[in-house]
Amino acid sequence: MRPDLSFFEAVAEAAAAETLPRFRIPVAIDNKEAGGFDPVTEADRAAERAIRALISERFPEHGILGEEHGDVGLDREYVWVIDPIDGTRAFISGLPLWGTLVGLYHNGKAVMGMMDQPFTGERFVAEPGNAMVWRNGQMSLMRTRTGVALDQAILMTTSPFIFPDTLASSYNRVEKSVRLARYGCDCYAYAMLASGYVDLVVESDLKPYDVGGLIPLVEQAGGRMTTWSGGSPENGGNIIAAGSAELHAEALELLNRSG
């Protein structure tokens, strides 16, 4: 059984009850990466626990893939994909550029998704046929910006330094071809693409929970989101999202150009 959007509202409120009271106050920060810095806080862990509790109660037959508390039933028909705080670096820096991501996969395909930013009062949700945003209680439909050529595009990525040496030249070709490049927005960049403010998002080495809640937002708003090879993005990897199929093809050709 597939949920309706009211369940996503309940999930968003449960997560916000754990994240907002911990935002912009001193919090303990753990590092999950021995060779670098991959922060996690109790806000991440508590929000995911709250989300998983709701899913397990309402949809016990569904699987769950979560960033902080492991996976259950990934071979099931429906699987929830959870990133309780995408953009933890922004969260611990006091910047409202993080969000709670929740996606629903049906037989491996992302069919519903949400990015909730409770501090700014924005909730981006998508179901088959619709992509919507609530801003301070007012709902509007989302559509990507179309008819934008690469040299007129606005590009976003988390950081130009996320790309390993083997991918950096490919990314740089795209960045040098656009009108404007901006950094540091994690999941917020995809929400802005779905809303028609940004035209391209290019990133590398993403996990399923980084994209699961965002794929439906982009696609149901009219955009295109794939791996750099043009494959399905549900399992993460190197990801490109664009406001139109034409812009996606133009940027994808640059990413894969040799030399």
CB-based contacts of 106, cutoff 8 Å, min separation 6? 2, 77, 78
> Which pair of structure tokens corresponds to residue 36?
């670098």
> Which tokens hold the place of 250?
């133009």
pLDDT recorded at residue 67: 87
Q: Which residues of 91-115 are buried (b: 16+ CB within 10 A; e: fewer)?
A: bbeebbbbbbbbbbbeeeebbbbbb
pLDDT of residue 34: 67
pLDDT at position 35, please? 67
Over its length of 259 residues, how does the chain's per-residue pLDDT go in tens digits?
779 899 999 999 999 999 999 999 988 888 876 667 778 899 999 999 999 999 999 999 999 999 898 899 999 999 999 999 999 999 999 999 999 999 999 999 999 999 999 999 999 999 999 999 999 789 999 999 999 999 999 999 999 999 999 999 999 999 999 999 999 889 999 999 999 999 999 999 999 999 999 999 999 999 999 999 999 999 999 999 999 999 999 999 999 997 6
Residue 200 has what pLDDT? 98
CATH architecture of the domain covering 150-255? 3-Layer(aba) Sandwich (3.40)
CA distance 207 to 233: 10
| Topology agreement, domain 5-141 and domain 150-255 | no
Pairing of strands 154-157, 180-183: parallel
Complete edge-to-edge strand list for the sheet that includes strand 237-242: 180-183, 154-157, 200-206, 237-242, 224-227
pTM of the model: 0.95
* Residue 124 exposure: Cα atoms within 13 Å on the Cβ side: 29
Q: Where are the domains of the chain?
A: 5-141, 150-255
Residue-level pLDDT at 259: 61
Residue 31 is predicted with a pLDDT of: 82
CATH number for the 5-141 domain, one of 3.30.540.10, 3.30.565.10, 3.40.50.300, 1.10.10.10? 3.30.540.10
Q: CA 202, 208, 214 angle in degrees (round to 5)?
A: 60
